[in-house]
A and B are shown apart, each in its own frame.
Chain A
């Protein structure tokens, strides 16, 4: 947002503008077509008809980092590949988000102890927004990760100054327990997907429960 980035007074109007921008960003996350190892098979499944990540606005897999917002790092990252991952991350335009998918990218996974050239977690060289554990994670877990990310994006400040609010994760989990960052005591309020709710007041009646 260039000149105005988090530079305008924190008033109702700028907050409303933020909401509109964030809603746009969260609702059309374009992931990068980039699979490194076995986890990529599940990432392909999540893009295919059965799980269909396009329902959540995140199904337009782009073949170039320059058109992508979301890097799903799906697979074992070793020392040789780490430079490539980092370069791809650097080539993505802002705003950009990273999902560490699978035990390998979260913390080394099966190669944690004896993987002499495996990076023990990609957060050692790129900032990670969501960790999705599993070996490999179920497609539902990836969807859940995307929904966590959407809530995180909705809480961001774009134009208005001020401290960012904490993301609201209630009701995100479609399959409790698959994504580790969720408080296990929180249970999904509904299994029906609703669009990120910040602009929900614009939806026709019945759009909010």
Chain B
């Protein structure tokens, strides 16, 4: 089942609002608003045509802003022979900066893969936890929280999983600055090696 077919099915079942098709460069996915995430994933797990009984992974991304290239008009000459400076128009905003959470689902019975995406604003990255739907989601959500700081509301135990408990910050964010020292362990890079 492709994402487009899945969307058809969802529309038939009356669950189509808040879900759109994300036509990626390779594989299509379902793009869903964060209010609908839990309901949609529960439907994908339980309803017969989907039966996505296996959650393969949950990942997150920090997306930077994406713009079309700037347009610059060349310098011109006005009626008196003076030079008119060209103007630069900023490219249109194609994608806002923000987080994206992706759930990869698989149906063992029906042999299909589905990806569900959700965009979250930078200032308030929170989304519903699905740890009660698939127990596998527990650690994946902890990892996503650990590295990106996306809060999964309703998670039973949202602690760091890879980094030490006392670590500060979320390292996969684009604005993260690596620490120079952690609990007495020097993490600094030595002076650059001399060029031969």
Residues of A within 8 A of B (CB): 79-80, 82-83, 107-108, 112-113, 116-121, 124-125
B185 CB contact (under 8 Å) in A108, A116, A124: A124
| CB atoms of B185 and A119 under 8 A apart | yes
When chains A and B are docked, how far (Å) is the Cα of A120 from the Cα of B192?
12
Mark B167-193 against chain A: 1 for CB-CB distance below 8 A, else 0.
Answer: 100010000101100110111111000
Q: Which residues of A contact B188 (CB under 8 A)?
A: 120
Interface secondary structure of A, over-half rule: loop
A70 to chain B, nearest CB (A): 23
* B contact residues vs A (CB 8 Å cutoff): 163-164, 167, 171, 176, 178-179, 182-183, 185-190
Cross-chain contact B185 with A83 (CB below 8 angstroms): yes
Bound together, the chains give a CA A80 to CA B171 distance in angstroms of 15
**What would 6 more interface pairs be, CB under 8 Å, given A112-B189, A121-B190?**
A79-B167, A80-B163, A80-B164, A83-B185, A117-B171, A124-B185
Q: Could you say which residues of chain A place their CB within 8 Å of the CB of B187? A: 79, 116-120
A116 near B176 (CB under 8 angstroms)? yes
Cβ–Cβ < 8 Å partners of B176 in chain A: 116
Which B residue sits closest to A112, measured CB to CB? B189
Sample (17) of A-B pairs whose CB atoms are under 8 Å apart: A79-B185, A79-B187, A83-B185, A112-B189, A116-B171, A116-B178, A116-B179, A117-B171, A117-B178, A117-B187, A118-B187, A119-B187, A120-B187, A120-B189, A124-B185, A124-B186, A125-B185
In the bound complex, CA of A117 to CA of B181 (Å)? 9
Within the assembled complex, what's the spacing in Å between the Cα atoms of A124 and B187?
A: 9
Min Cβ gap B28→A in Å is 32
Main secondary structure of the interface of B (DSSP, over half): loop
Residue numbers in A under 8 Å from B164 (CB-CB): 79-80
Assess whether A83 is in contact with B178, with CB atoms less than 8 Å apart. no
Docked complex Cα distance between A207 and B106 (Å): 67
CB contact under 8 A between A119 and B186, given known A79-B164, A80-B163, A80-B164: yes
Per the bound structure, the CA–CA distance linking A119 and B182 in Å amounts to 10
Query: CB distance B189 to A113 under 8 Å?
Result: yes
Are the C-beta atoms of B182 and A117 separated by less than 8 Å?
yes
Nearest Cβ on chain A to B114's Cβ, whole angstroms: 32
A119–B189 alpha-carbon span in the complex (Å): 8
Q: Most B CB atoms within 10 A — which of A112, A113, A117, A121?
A: A117
Chain B positions within 8 Å of A83 at CB level = 183, 185
Residues of chain A contacted by B183 (CB below 8 angstroms):
79, 83
Check B189–A117 contact: CB distance below 8 A.
no
Q: Which residue of A lies closest to B177 (CB)?
A: A116
Q: CA of A124 to CA of B186 in the docked complex: distance in angstroms?
A: 7
Q: In whole angstroms, what is the CA distance A113 to B189 when docked?
A: 8
| One of B163, B186, B190 near A117 (C-beta < 8 A) | B163
> Which listed residue, B163, B167, B190, touches A120 by the CB 8 Å rule?
B190
Chain B residues, Cβ within 8 Å of A113:
189
Q: Is A79 a contact partner of B190 (Cβ separation < 8 A)? A: no
Report the Cα distance A121→B189, complex, angstroms: 9
User: What's the Cα separation between A79 and B163 when bound, in Å?
Assistant: 9
